[in-house]
Amino acid sequence: MLKKIIGTAGTRILNAVINLVILLLITHKIGSEGLGVIALIMVDITVIQMFIDLLAGSALIYFGSRANTGQLLIPAYLWIGFVIAVFAGISFLTYTFFPDLYGLVIPSGYEIHIFTLAILSALMITHYNLLLGKKEIRIYNIIFTVQILTFLAVFVYGIFGQQNFTPLAYVYALYAAYGTGSILGFIILTKKTERFTAEGWTETSRKVINFGFISSIANIIHIGNKRLSFYVLRSFSGLSALGIYNAGVQLTEGLRIIGQSISLVQFSTISNTTDEEYARTLTIKLMKFTLLLTLSALIVLILLPEQVYSFVFSKDFSAVRPIVIALSPGVLALAANNIFSHYFSGLGNPKVNMWSNVTGLVFTILLAFTLIPFFGYIGAAVTTSVSYTATVIYQYIIFEKRTRTKFSEWLPRKKDFTDFSRLVKEAMARK
């Protein structure tokens, strides 16, 4: 498992570095308003994906080893088409009857791009989830690496080769990356599936819906916690303020690679075991390492002086450091949330995640419309931190009650570090 974590972490680190390079190019070549447009495009795609996740989300990881690939792919494809059609209809009605609201949510001229990219993203994520469900984590990491390198190559060509200093350079890079990921994922899935059949897909779909409905609702609320502030900030402060805030968000979310890398392997491992005590102790150990590593990286980011941010991102983004500081409690909470969420989902208890996200959403709604109108992007950052913290406190309470874990078990011990060091060295040696 440590080999898989190291491999996944390496992939995520590469992704974080590439995202930083892309962020630097955007801030210097496209500007804060362009970054605001990009933020809205990505949020819109994410919102569509939330509903697609009902049949093509993380439930596929859980059922990837429990059902035939064909039984999972057929309903996933049909559902993707249905959701896209519904959102296209809603978009048309909103444009017709509520044009002001439409303009706040969807950037002008990017409607077709958003829906097309949502389709490619959904296909890519569907294939990735099935690979993870089959524990093909190494192959997933390879395809993911090819995807992000493709994005970087196309984006750099757009900026320097075509002198395209608009958000379209980013959009075209997304086309290449999502298309590459979805095609490669499908090819590998067909090669890894010995017997490809769709027989019995309706019964399998029913099981996926029963499991995926709660997970999907939990994810919808989770994304609401993360991105509702984007729309509110866009409404009260404009695209430029949204772009500056998005720069801070992307910078801190780069630290999520630690929690994401560990929780991804954690979920794949727990969903393939029935030993709840093993899942409990594994979660506790991984939580310690996740929080300690995330905190270490976060301290470095906070200690950087404001002049560094202004130099790196251009003077228009001098406010990034205060945003990073305001987001820092939320970054730690989100790292813990990743581990808890994958523990509950891996054991087939996604309702806990749903109610924890409901708790966070309550704080998001209360604070977003209170703080953002007066404090702008700092208010958005504080809202996000409080929401994430409330979410993880709820998960912690439920975990304690269900597993009877003592508080002392969460405290780092010398043995934890020696065990982790030994396992990493052994895994690296084998690799």
Indicate yes or no: pTM above 0.85.
Answer: no
pLDDT of 261 = 67
Q: Which of 401, 365, 408, 398 is nearest to 384 (CA)?
A: 365
User: What SS3 class is residue 349?
Assistant: coil
> Does an H or E element contain 390, and which?
helix 350-403
pLDDT of 147 = 93
Cβ neighbors of 103 (< 8 A, separation 6 or more) are none
User: What are the CA-CA distances from residue 2 to residues 13, 264, 276, 301 (Å)?
Assistant: 16, 12, 20, 27
Q: Exposed/middle/buried for 74, CB within 10 Å: 0-12, 13-18, 19+?
A: middle
Q: What angle do CA 371, 375, 377 make, to 5 degrees?
A: 95
Q: Are 140 and 132 in contact (CB under 8 A)?
A: yes
Q: What is the dihedral of CA 381, 349, 272, 413, to 10 degrees?
A: 60
Q: Are 112 and 85 in contact (CB under 8 A)?
A: no
pLDDT of 268 = 63
pLDDT of 9 = 59
> Does an H or E element contain 297, and which?
helix 276-303
Tokens describing residue 136: 């093909």
Low-confidence ranges of the chain (pLDDT < 70): 1-12, 64-65, 194-198, 200, 212, 259-261, 264-265, 267-268, 271-273, 416, 419-431
Cβ neighbors of 37 (< 8 A, separation 6 or more) are 107, 110, 167, 239, 243
User: What are the CA-CA distances from residue 147 to residues 40, 71, 152, 183 (Å)?
Assistant: 22, 26, 9, 10
> 317: which DSSP letter?
G
pLDDT of 6 = 58
- Among left, alpha and beta (phi > 0; psi -120 to 50; other), residue 200 is left
| Other beta carbons less than 10 A from residue 146's beta carbon | 14
Q: What angle do CA 98, 102, 106 make, to 5 degrees?
A: 170
Q: Are 248 and 100 in contact (CB under 8 A)?
A: no
Cβ neighbors of 303 (< 8 A, separation 6 or more) are none
HSE toward the beta carbon, residue 405, CA cutoff 13 A: 23
pLDDT of 426 = 57
User: What SS3 class is residue 411?
Assistant: coil
What is the distance of C-alpha 38 from the center of its chain? 16
Q: Are 212 and 57 in contact (CB under 8 A)?
A: yes
Place of tokens 């002086």: 305
Q: Are 380 and 229 in contact (CB under 8 A)?
A: yes
Q: Are 1 and 425 in contact (CB under 8 A)?
A: no
Q: Are 235 and 307 in contact (CB under 8 A)?
A: no
Q: Are 320 and 378 in contact (CB under 8 A)?
A: no
How large is the C-alpha radius of gyration of the chain? 21
pLDDT of 83 = 94
pLDDT of 234 = 87
